[in-house]
């Protein structure tokens, strides 16, 4: 038996190939979206870890006895509130902690006095590193959010519901600018 291709059978083969290619494209896009969601989840975990590290560094400095009691109390209170804040109030609590740290070190002489103390230098360096890491982790997280949103906004992703039931995660916007004393 001999296979005879007619004009219609050639069109059917072409359509089948196009459907397979389109399916492969959709599969690739869904896989990419899934990877972006995984990257976003990892970025959020890293951000949470850096925020916790910053709170811990602030608490260590507050409990060191190197600060005046009022400043130590304000910093310890702010760090504790940032650690236990519910998810919907987390951004405000973290921003408040940043403002408290900036207020504590608005006078550069305060930082110089702490650096003169052997333990103070180490505590300030640790806090400065933690604050810079928070900035980097937040930027990485927000970039991941932007990438996910951009891909989810494509028509094919929406039309074929490639995002599934994954919730749209918000960016994390806080005031994370460290005081000038840590820029040294």
The pLDDT assigned to 144 comes to 98
pLDDT, average across residues 57-72:
96
Please state, in angstroms and rounded to a whole number, the distance separating the CA atoms of residues 115 and 120: 5
Pairwise CA distance, residues 16 & 13, whole Å? 5
Q: According to the model, what pLDDT value does residue 179 have?
A: 92
| Distance between CA atoms of residues 79 and 34, nearest Å | 34
81 has pLDDT over 90: yes
Predicted TM-score (pTM) of the model is 0.90
State pLDDT tens for residues 143-153: 999 999 999 99
* Statement: residue 180 has pLDDT above 80: yes
- The pLDDT assigned to 103 comes to 95
Higher pLDDT, 125 or 183: 125
Residue 2: predicted pLDDT: 63
The average pLDDT across 58-63 equals 97
Domain boundaries, the chain: 52-183
What span, in angstroms and rounded, lies between the C-alpha atoms of 178 and 128?
Answer: 8
Angstrom distance (rounded) from CA 26 to CA 65: 60
């Amino acid at each position: 038996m001999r296979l005879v291709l007619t004009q219609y059978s050639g069109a059917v083969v072409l359509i089948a190939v196009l459907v397979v290619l389109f399916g492969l494209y959709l599969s690739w896009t869904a896989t990419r979206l899934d990877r972006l969601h995984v990257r976003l989840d990892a970025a959020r975990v890293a951000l949470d870890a850096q925020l916790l590290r910053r709170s811990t560094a602030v608490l260590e400095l507050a409990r060191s006895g190197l600060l005046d009691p009022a400043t130590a109390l304000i910093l310890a209170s702010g760090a504790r509130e940032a650690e236990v804040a519910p998810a919907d109030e987390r951004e405000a609590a973290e921003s408040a902690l940043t403002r408290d740290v900036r207020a504590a070190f608005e006078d550069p002489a305060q930082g110089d006095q702490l650096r003169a103390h052997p333990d103070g230098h180490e505590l300030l360096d640790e806090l400065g590193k933690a604050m810079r890491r928070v900035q980097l982790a937040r930027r990485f997280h927000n970039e991941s959010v932007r990438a996910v949103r951009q891909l989810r906004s494509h028509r094919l992703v929406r039309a074929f519901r490639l995002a599934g039931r994954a919730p749209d995660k918000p960016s994390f916007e806080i005031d994370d600018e460290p005081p000038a004393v840590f820029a040294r």
